[in-house]
Amino acid sequence: MKLMRKVLVVLITLFFMSSCDDGDIITVDLDFDQDLSLCDNDIDTYLIYDLRNDPSESLSLLIQRNTANDLLFSEPTPVDTPTTLTIDGNTNRFIYRTYNRDISDTSTNQELCSTVIPADLVIIENYESTSGTAEVTVTVDDDDNDGIPSALEGADPNGDGDFSDSLDSDLDGIFDYLDQDDDNDNVLTIDEIDSEDTDGDDDPTTNPLDTDGDTIPDYLDTDDDEDGILTINEDENGDMSPANDLANNALGDLVPHYLNTIETIDYGNPGNTQNNQYTRTVNSVFIIKNFDLDILSGDEINLGTLITTIIIQQ
């Protein structure tokens, strides 16, 4: 009986030692929120990353800073043709890390972007993939933020990534998808469309404002009220903004001259405003394929979407 108990104790001890020799059991869950942030303060690299606070960990993609990669944050990629970056542990790196404390409050600090690591921040685990690819798809729904999606303004009509053949309705040298005033009448496109979406289809081109009923939408019509006077010439004070020159129409409503058929004075062309400034919102989606982080490998993971807002002046 004593012998059996001794053998049992020995067996239990060996099992425990064997379990410990395998190392700690590491549970990795790459279910991040996919809301990416960007560090662009280094002259040589871009760092795209996602953070979690419980546990404190990060997924990071470090890529070279060059002309081609600059476009990943500003210009759309061709339809169904993402940009592919090779992960090699050198020029492009994919890294998973855990930390001793929370670093997710990027609204007040960007510790991953800091050139000096805080003294109280410790990297507990660091795993890097030396193989795989990162596929980046960049979209811009409305390049010039004028309320009309770029795809509906004749941007890249062939879908081949060459935007040089895009539509330029007013022939001012600025393609419609980049032009805040598509008909060059000094009234912004966003002020001449169905911005209220009265038909509920989220498409401003299906129910456009057409004041004179000539089937030409106001945002493409150089004479919005069809009174024979060009909209741009109905600028009484000559400040290159016809929208602030008002008079009562036949119904007694106070409206701009360019929408008033009883106001037919030609004040001459004051010239075009040169302020074609707009905000562009760029969506960059990063997909990591065929990665191996030692503790975890996979065929594909959606790293997330980086939203970049840039101001463009033309």
Do 155 and 194 reside in the same domain of the chain?
Answer: yes
**Average pLDDT for 29-52:** 91
Q: What pLDDT is attached to residue 109?
A: 57
**Domain hosting residue 133, numbered range:** 30-140+285-299
Asked if residue 274 and residue 163 are part of one domain, the reply reads yes
Q: Domain for residue 304, yes or no?
A: no
* 277/292 same-domain check: no
Please indicate, yes or no, whether residues 151 and 36 belong to a single structural domain of this protein: no
Binned at pLDDT 50, 70 and 90, residue 57 comes out as very high
- Residue for token digits 């972007």? 113
The pLDDT-based confidence of 14 (bands split at 50, 70, 90) is very low
Confidence (pLDDT) at 184? 96
In this prediction, residue 22 carries a pLDDT of: 44
Note whether 174 and 208 are same-domain residues: yes
**Judgement on whether residues 190 and 112 belong to the same structural domain of the protein:** no
pLDDT at position 69 over 70: yes
Do residues 266 and 157 share a domain? Answer: yes
Indicate if the pLDDT at residue 64 is higher than 50. Answer: yes
Tens digits of per-residue pLDDT, 274-287?
Answer: 777 888 899 999 99
Quick one: pLDDT at residue 194?
Answer: 81
Per-residue pLDDT at 44:
94
Same domain, 171 and 270: yes
pLDDT of 159-214, one tens digit each? 887 889 999 999 999 999 999 999 999 999 999 998 777 778 878 888 889 999 99
Same domain for 272 and 163, yes or no, is yes
Identify which of 245, 194, 247, 253 has the alpha carbon closest to the alpha carbon of residue 219: 194
- Bigger pLDDT: 158 or 235? 235
Contact 261, 190 (CB under 8 A): no
Q: Kindly state the percentage of the chain with pLDDT values over 70.
A: 89
* Residue 163, in any domain of the structure: yes
Extract the tokens encoding 87.
């992960």
Whether 173 and 83 share a structural domain = no
* pLDDT confidence band for 1 (50 / 70 / 90): very low
pLDDT of residue 105: 72
Containing H/E element for 60? strand 56-64
Is 210 part of a structural domain of the chain? yes
Q: What is the mean pLDDT of residues 33-62?
A: 93
pLDDT for 178-190, tens place per residue?
A: 999 999 999 999 9
pLDDT digits (tens, 9 = 90+) for 267-276: 999 999 877 7
pLDDT band at residue 27 under the 50/70/90 scheme: low
- When divided into structural domains, the chain yields a total of 2
6 in a structural domain: no
What totals of helices (H) and strands (E) does the chain contain, helices first?
2, 11
Candidate from 13-17, 77-81, 180-184, 286-290 with smallest mean pLDDT: 13-17
User: Residue 8 pLDDT > 50, yes or no?
Assistant: no
pLDDT surpasses 80 at 314: no
Strand order in the sheet with 123-129: 37-39, 45-53, 56-64, 93-99, 123-129
Pairwise CA distance, residues 178 & 153, whole Å: 9
Per the domain annotation, does 190 fall within a domain? yes
Are 127 and 107 in a shared domain?
A: yes
- State the pLDDT at residue 206: 82
> What is the predicted pLDDT for the residue at 61?
98
Q: Is the model's pLDDT at 90 over the cut of 80?
A: yes
* Residue at 308 is within a domain: no
291/277 same-domain check:
no
pLDDT at residue number 180: 92
Give mean pLDDT, residues 41-53. 93
DSSP string, 230-293: -GGG--TT-SS-GGG-EEE-TTS-EEEGGG-TT--------------EEEEEEEEEEEEEEEE-
Q: What pLDDT shows up at residue 28?
A: 60
